[in-house]
Amino acid sequence: MTSEPGKLTISPLAYYRQQLQQGVLAYQYDAESEQAVFYPRVIGPGTGNAHLEWRHSSGHGCVYAVTVLQPRGEAPYNVVLVDMDDGFRLMSRVEDMPAEAVHIGMRVQMRVHNPADGAAPYPVFVPEST
């Protein structure tokens, strides 16, 4: 990530996590390819563009794929791929409903999960409110 003279430079991952701590899902945009870029990177994939723009996601998307896992003796949980309305896809989970009820095409919205153990925050999804 570039910075102005005299300002501290942080990595794209550090900036992404900093934004999550503020409740914002940030992603990058490569003006050369006119494509959203996610997970945070130093250069644009395919273009090598080192001047990626940061943008804030709307937080809304659609479940592209879902898998339900049920470890022996534990509650089932889902793993989803979500196509964000902003043009990128990410892996996460959908909460606040039974794992088996999540389906392809379901509209979801992002919220930030802050692990109790102090680990880095990450995005999870809930069904989109109507």
The tens digit of pLDDT for each residue in 51-63 reads: 999 999 999 999 9
Q: Looking at residues 13-26, what average pLDDT do you find? A: 95
pLDDT at 8 exceeding the cut of 70: no
Q: What is the CA radius of gyration of the chain?
A: 16
Instruction: Kindly report the CATH number assigned to the domain that includes residue 74.
Output: 2.40.50.840
| Residue 52 and residue 100 share a domain | no
| Residue 75 and residue 11 share a domain | no
The tens digit of pLDDT for each residue in 22-45 reads: 999 999 999 999 999 999 999 999
pLDDT for the residue numbered 10: 87
| Residue 37 and residue 80 share a domain | no
Phi-psi region of 66 (alpha: psi -120 to 50; beta: other; left: phi over 0): beta
pLDDT at 81 exceeding the cut of 80: yes
Q: Report how far residue 108's alpha carbon sits from residue 89's, in angstroms, rounded to the nearest whole number.
A: 13
Global pTM reads 0.86
116 burial class (0-12, 13-18, 19+ CB within 10 angstroms)?
exposed
| Residue 68 and residue 48 share a domain | no
Containing domain of residue 81, as a range? 58-130
| Residue 34 and residue 12 share a domain | yes
Which of 41, 56, 71 corresponds to the end of one domain?
Answer: 56
Average pLDDT, the chain: 92
